[in-house]
Chains A and B, each alone.
Chain A
Amino acid sequence: MVETLAESVARLASLDREVVAIAWLSLRVSLTAVLVGALAGIPLGALVAVVRFPGRQALVGLLNASMGLPPVIVGLVIYLLLSRSGPLGPLGLLFTPAAMVAAQSVLVTPLIAALTRQIVADAEAHLGDQLRSLRLPPWRRAGLLVFDVRFSLVTAILAAFGRAISEIGAVLVVGGNIDGFTRTMTTAISLETQKGDLALALALGLVLIGLVLLVNAAATILRAYAVRAYG
């Protein structure tokens, strides 16, 4: 155990090229998925919070429930869509990083939408009457409320990033864990553990945790700076 740890640290210290490549792919895929999820999920969540329409409560329930979508099932559905005989088969995306981005985007969009809806709904309880009395259209009200809660939304984004970077089911099913192409931190850790290269598995695990801490620290510092500057 101690030996394994020592070897892990040694490999980290030498900044193994393979480890760096794997970490970079993981980061790229998950950050892209979070970007897609934010672009789709924040407007969706904000509109559900602001606009009254029949079936809204049901949609809110559905959104909340889909925060718990099992990654492996999302992977399976994307796999079926992208497989050669599937409707999106001709795109030839299966077992590519793009497929992994698609699967993780599907995973984090409802999470971001559901958290945004709750955060915006709380702000709407405070500001809603005022914005309605200014006769602003719903999309404008939603936009202003998103602007108002922008610092709180950082937490939703971080939660989505945490879910994406740490999941294995979706990236494994649609990415295929191809060495040097679609191998991510989580799929590599799982593989190396099975192969018995515990030192590499542990090294990757340390890097993964380090990455998560780094991204969260960066977001927290940016948020604190922005709050100080803009109240």
Chain B
Amino acid sequence: MSAAIPPNPSLPPNPSLPPNPSLPLRLDGLVYRAGPKTIIDGLDATIAAPGITALIGPNGAGKSVTLRLIDGLLRPDAGTVRIGEGAPVRRAFLFQRPALLRASAARNVALALAPLGLERRERAARTRAALARVGLLDRADDPATRFSGGEQQRLALARALVGEPQLLLLDEPTASLDPAATERIEAVVAEIARGGTKVILVSHNLGQVARLADDVVVLARGRAVEHGPMAQVVFQPKTAQARAYLKGELPWTAYAAAS
């Protein structure tokens, strides 16, 4: 059987990474309710490996909520999120829809440096470096609202990177982008992960998961039902829920497996 989705050849396979203070990331018995609905229902997972961990699963499985619980945007009704050994970890969150202020690109990026209390010159230098990383340095002074969808998301990514996060949370970062824009975002994300940042990626794009992820957690109805290396979970899922999801999302892997 040949792999239906070839891994991105430009990525070195699982590079050796420096230790990351956000690991191990432990989710213990997480419960989160929204009104009468239980979104996260006793979720247990331990993410110990560096690189990129993908959270996949059907709509309503609780992927985005899990990401928000990890970031602390939401508080669990029960259970705990433990990030590393408890020392403060620099975190950044990239949302599906870029939330930008009506201000210049540079100002939007510099915003993320506000809580760090840096000097003006240092802030400007870091802002320029982050914009350069996503290929938007020449547009630093343009109003962010004039950017295209792909450029806006790259700008939001620059804002997420500028604080040099040790833990980067991505919530369907390319869901509304075209393939070229998706490729640019993926290239930067892969590079960040190679630099030692732990990345947790929520995605419905299984091609993207296959290209980027080192390991994959499958969520169903607010629980983690399967967790393992990317190739194993995506191509040889063990649980019925994971199989059902992968089959529905990606009929042609099933054909590939059958042939």
Name A residues whose Cβ lies closer than 8 Å to a Cβ of B. Answer: 126-127, 129-136, 140, 144, 147-148, 150-151, 230-231
B103 at the interface (CB under 8 A from A): yes
Q: Establish whether residues B114 and A148, one from each chain, have CB atoms under 8 Å apart when the complex forms.
A: no
Known: A126-B99, A130-B93, A148-B102. A231 touches B115 (CB 8 A): no
Mind listing 16 A-B residue pairs with CB under 8 Å? A127-B99, A129-B68, A129-B73, A131-B99, A133-B71, A133-B73, A133-B91, A133-B93, A134-B112, A134-B114, A147-B103, A230-B143, A231-B102, A231-B143, A231-B144, A231-B145
B244 at the interface (CB under 8 A from A): no
Cβ-closest chain B residue relative to A129: B73
Least CB distance from B69 to A in Å reads: 12
B95 at the interface (CB under 8 A from A): yes
Contacts of B146 in A (CB 8 A): 231
B101 at the interface (CB under 8 A from A): yes
Q: Establish whether residues B111 and A135, one from each chain, have CB atoms under 8 Å apart when the complex forms.
A: no
B interface residues, tally (CB under 8 Å): 19
Contacts of A135 in B (CB 8 A): 115
A192 to B224, CA, bound (A): 79
Q: Establish whether residues A230 and B103, one from each chain, have CB atoms under 8 Å apart when the complex forms.
A: yes
Contacts of A126 in B (CB 8 A): 99
A150 to B145, CA, bound (A): 14
Q: Establish whether residues A129 and B99, one from each chain, have CB atoms under 8 Å apart when the complex forms.
A: yes
Cβ-closest chain B residue relative to A149: B102
Question: Nearest 8 A-B pairs (CB), nearest first?
Answer: A231-B143, A130-B99, A231-B145, A133-B93, A127-B99, A148-B101, A135-B115, A148-B102
Q: Establish whether residues B95 and A130, one from each chain, have CB atoms under 8 Å apart when the complex forms.
A: yes
Least CB distance from A73 to B in Å reads: 39
A209 to B246, CA, bound (A): 67
Cβ-closest chain B residue relative to A133: B93
Least CB distance from A84 to B in Å reads: 50
Cβ-closest chain B residue relative to A130: B99
Contacts of A129 in B (CB 8 A): 68, 73, 93, 95, 99
4 additional A-B pairs beyond A132-B73, A147-B103, beta carbons within 8 Å, are A131-B99, A133-B91, A144-B101, A230-B102
B136 at the interface (CB under 8 A from A): no
B92 at the interface (CB under 8 A from A): yes
Known: A126-B99, A147-B103, A231-B102. A133 touches B143 (CB 8 A): no
Cβ-closest chain A residue relative to B114: A136
A85 to B123, CA, bound (A): 58
8 A Cβ contacts from B141-193 to A: 143-146
A91 to B153, CA, bound (A): 58
Contacts of B115 in A (CB 8 A): 134-136
A133 to B102, CA, bound (A): 18
Contacts of A130 in B (CB 8 A): 93, 95, 99
Least CB distance from A134 to B in Å reads: 5
A126 to B71, CA, bound (A): 18
Q: Establish whether residues B101 and A127, one from each chain, have CB atoms under 8 Å apart when the complex forms.
A: yes
A147 to B112, CA, bound (A): 16
